[in-house]
Structure 1
Amino acid sequence: MKRIMYSLFILSAAYSAAAQPVTSGNPIIKGWYADPEAVIFNNQYWIYPTYSDKYNKQVFFDAFSSTDLVHWNTHAHILDTTAIKWAKRAMWAPAIVQKGKKYFFFFAANDIQNDNEKGGIGVAVADKPEGPFKDYLGKPLIDKFYNGAQPIDQFVFKDKDGQYYIIYGGWQHCNIARLKNDFTAIIPFKDGTMFKEITPKGYVEGPFMFMRNNKYYFMWSEGGWTGPDYCVAYAVSDSPFGPFERVGKVLEQDSAVATGAGHHSIIHNTKKDHWYIVYHRRPLGETAANNRATCIEQMFFDDKEMILPVKLSFTGVKEEKLK
């Protein structure tokens, strides 16, 4: 009888374990990684983060791919400073787009502090999402301060008419600029200007834009990146140029989970209309500036199409395949 009861207990436990949905857990990537750019390529999820370390060691990028948001494969050193001769230190906050059969990888390098220093926003190119990537221009795409914006934290946005824009900026200023069709240069707007400032109230860095039901959702990070109050806020407009009136915070610290939650990106599973926010945060007890971990949560909208506040978790998200 005892043996039968024990067998039933084992079967029940196994059934319960099998019935539990598989989740990613948070963080989803081992090691210190920040500023994640999350995208979908070829029915796979991809994350391109900053390798979070001291600036003189932050000289390469790794990438991570998954078919289900739970199990992630590492693609090491898809790009480093040996391929970008003008980049010497502090490569971070990548953005990536597929155009035709090529993958264009935008990044910031050297943390320039004025127009006399060499560095800024560069572009690399590869035939596959895992690289290897090589320098596309041989020089930065943007290497000067325009409208007070440090040339960092770039995001590339494709509008509904097919035009690509680069949205970027640190030091509490954000610019938008038109990209030439082959991504080799910035081209002027119809009024002749090259860079338009779209800085919303509270903006610090980390811009991101997406469209939903013909509305432009503009998101950014606020606060200091080394501090506990780092967070993400957003605005909504009828145009990629704004005006962007701040709606409120989407993502912020939770004293029971983590601090410094910010610098994010968004992925959208269009088949199921599921939205996910991928971001970095600082585990409780970690005080070192570069000890940041990449995490994921599902993101929801209310009946007025506003983004609901995201709750930080250790669970992450459920398994979700794209095909």
Structure 2
Amino acid sequence: MFRKILLCLALTAAGSIFAQNNPIFKGWYADPEGIVFDNQYWVFPTYSAPYNKQVFFDAFSSPDLVHWTKHEKVLDSSAVKWAHRAMWAPSIIKQNGKYFFFFGANDIQNNEQEGGIGVAVANKPGGPYKDYLGKPLIDKFYNGAQPIDQFAFRDADGKVYLIYGGWGHCNIAKLKDDFTGFDKFDDGDTFKEITPKGYVEGPFMFIRNGKYYFMWSEGGWTGPDYCVAYAIADSPLGPWKRIGKILQQDPKIATGAGHHSVIKVPNKDEYYIVYHRRPLGETDANSRETCIERMYFDKDGFIKPVTITNEGVKANPLKK
């Protein structure tokens, strides 16, 4: 009997260890973009460090959301001559058989400084990526939006939009099919502001059941009020009326939960939210780690509040 008790205790302990899947990989990483390419889950995060050390991006791939492989320096500043610090918030999309990697660089504070939003290209998701244009794609402030936190969104008709912006303003622009610039909207505008109430940074958009879900981060990225909120509309242009928060810190688990993305499992109505947070006891603003939770909807299509956990998610292999 004593041996059976010991065995049960050992199995319980082992189960507890293996259940701790958050963070999903080691190291300080933030602003994660999750996406599926070629039957693999991918996460492309910001390397979380002082701005002058943020000169490269690592990526991570997984067959099942639990076991992750690190791909080191899929893009770094040696391949982007105009980028020299604060390389942030990647967004990756496949177009015309190639993979395009949008990123912010240099944390520009005005229109005279060099930097903004760039784009790199590679033949496979894990890179290596090279600068596509030799200059920023967006290097100015439009509608008050700092050119950071870009997200490449593919609409149902295949058209790709770039949604971006810091400093409390969010813009949307229609990318040319070759991603060398932008097409104008019918009214002649290139950059349209779609800022909802409470928006700070970190935009993300997806479509479910014909509805457009627009999500963003609120609060200060170094503080306990950092969180994710959302709105729903019938068009990528809105209008967007804030519905409420769906992701925020839990003082028993972690603080500063925000700047997320969403992974949809192909051919299934299953969604995961990928986000960063700060472990309890960490006071350094850059001590951020990447985590994943399931994201659910109610019968009316509203997103249910997400519970942040140490357990994370169970394995969900992508079958070939």
Q: TM-score range by the shorter chain?
A: over 0.9
Contact 1:24–1:317 (CA under 8 A) maintained in structure 2: no
Is the counterpart of residue 121 in structure 1 residue 117 in structure 2? yes
1:230-256 CA distances to partner (integer Å, 9 max, x unpaired)?
Answer: 000000000100000000001001110
Instruction: Tell me the TM-score normalized by structure 1.
Output: 0.95
Alpha-carbon distance between aligned partners in 1 of 2:20 and 2:233, rounded to the nearest angstrom: 33
Is the counterpart of residue 251 in structure 1 residue 247 in structure 2? yes
Is the counterpart of residue 223 in structure 1 residue 219 in structure 2? yes
Alpha-carbon distance between aligned partners in 2 of 1:43 and 1:24, rounded to the nearest angstrom: 24
Shift in alpha-carbon separation, 1:257–1:11, aligned structure 2, 3 A = closer
Task: Write the mapping of 1:138-217 to structure 2, written as runs, cut at 5 A.
Answer: 138-217=134-213
Alpha-carbon distance between aligned partners in 1 of 2:8 and 2:255, rounded to the nearest angstrom: 38
Match of 1:57 in 2: 53
Alpha-carbon distance between aligned partners in 2 of 1:23 and 1:64, rounded to the nearest angstrom: 20
Alpha-carbon distance between aligned partners in 2 of 1:125 and 1:237, rounded to the nearest angstrom: 32
Match of 1:91 in 2: 87
Larger displacement relative to structure 2 (24-33 or 133-142): 24-33
Instruction: Tell me the TM-score normalized by structure 2.
Output: 0.96
Alpha-carbon distance between aligned partners in 1 of 2:258 and 2:54, rounded to the nearest angstrom: 19
Alpha-carbon distance between aligned partners in 1 of 2:233 and 2:268, rounded to the nearest angstrom: 25
Task: Write the mapping of 1:254-293 to structure 2, written as runs, cut at 5 A.
Answer: 254-293=250-289
Larger displacement relative to structure 2 (276-285 or 15-24): 15-24
Match of 2:103 in 1: 107
Match of 1:66 in 2: 62
Q: Structure 1: where are the runs of 5+ without partners?
A: none
Alpha-carbon distance between aligned partners in 1 of 2:181 and 2:235, rounded to the nearest angstrom: 23
What secondary structure sits across from 2:308 in the alignment?
coil
Task: Write the mapping of 1:19-34 to structure 2, written as runs, cut at 5 A.
Answer: 23=19, 25-34=21-30
The amino acid across from 1:99 in the alignment is: Q
Alpha-carbon distance between aligned partners in 1 of 2:15 and 2:116, rounded to the nearest angstrom: 50
Shift in alpha-carbon separation, 1:188–1:55, aligned structure 2, 3 A = same
Q: How far apart are 1:92 and its partner, in Å?
A: 0.6
Match of 2:301 in 1: 305
Q: How far apart are 1:21 and its partner, in Å?
A: 12
Alpha-carbon distance between aligned partners in 2 of 1:259 and 1:147, rounded to the nearest angstrom: 31
1:203-246 CA distances to partner (integer Å, 9 max, x unpaired)?
Answer: 00000000000000000000011111100000000010000000
Q: How far apart are 1:16 and its partner, in Å?
A: 7.0
Instruction: Tell me the C-alpha RMSD between the 2 structures.
Output: 1.8
Alpha-carbon distance between aligned partners in 2 of 1:37 and 1:140, rounded to the nearest angstrom: 20
Larger displacement relative to structure 2 (12-21 or 135-144): 12-21
Match of 1:234 in 2: 230
Q: How far apart are 1:101 and its partner, in Å?
A: 1.9
How many residue pairs align between the two structures? 319
Q: How far apart are 1:24 and its partner, in Å?
A: 6.0
1:95-131 CA distances to partner (integer Å, 9 max, x unpaired)?
Answer: 0001132100000000000000000000000001110
Shift in alpha-carbon separation, 1:19–1:148, aligned structure 2, 3 A = closer
Shift in alpha-carbon separation, 1:19–1:316, aligned structure 2, 3 A = closer
What secondary structure sits across from 2:52 in the alignment?
coil
1:257-299 CA distances to partner (integer Å, 9 max, x unpaired)?
Answer: 1110000000011344211000000111111111111001000
The percent of aligned pairs where both chains have the same amino acid is 67
Larger displacement relative to structure 2 (218-227 or 93-102): 93-102
Alpha-carbon distance between aligned partners in 2 of 1:290 and 1:185, rounded to the nearest angstrom: 33
The amino acid across from 2:149 in the alignment is: D
1:168-197 CA distances to partner (integer Å, 9 max, x unpaired)?
Answer: 000000000000000010111111110100
The amino acid across from 1:139 in the alignment is: K
- Kindly report structure 1 stretches of 4+ aligned residues shifted beyond 3 Å: 8-24
Q: 2:39 aligns with which of 27, 37, 43?
A: 43
Shift in alpha-carbon separation, 1:16–1:261, aligned structure 2, 3 A = closer
Q: Structure 2: where are the runs of 5+ without partners?
A: none
Contact 1:22–1:319 (CA under 8 A) maintained in structure 2: no
Contact 1:22–1:318 (CA under 8 A) maintained in structure 2: no
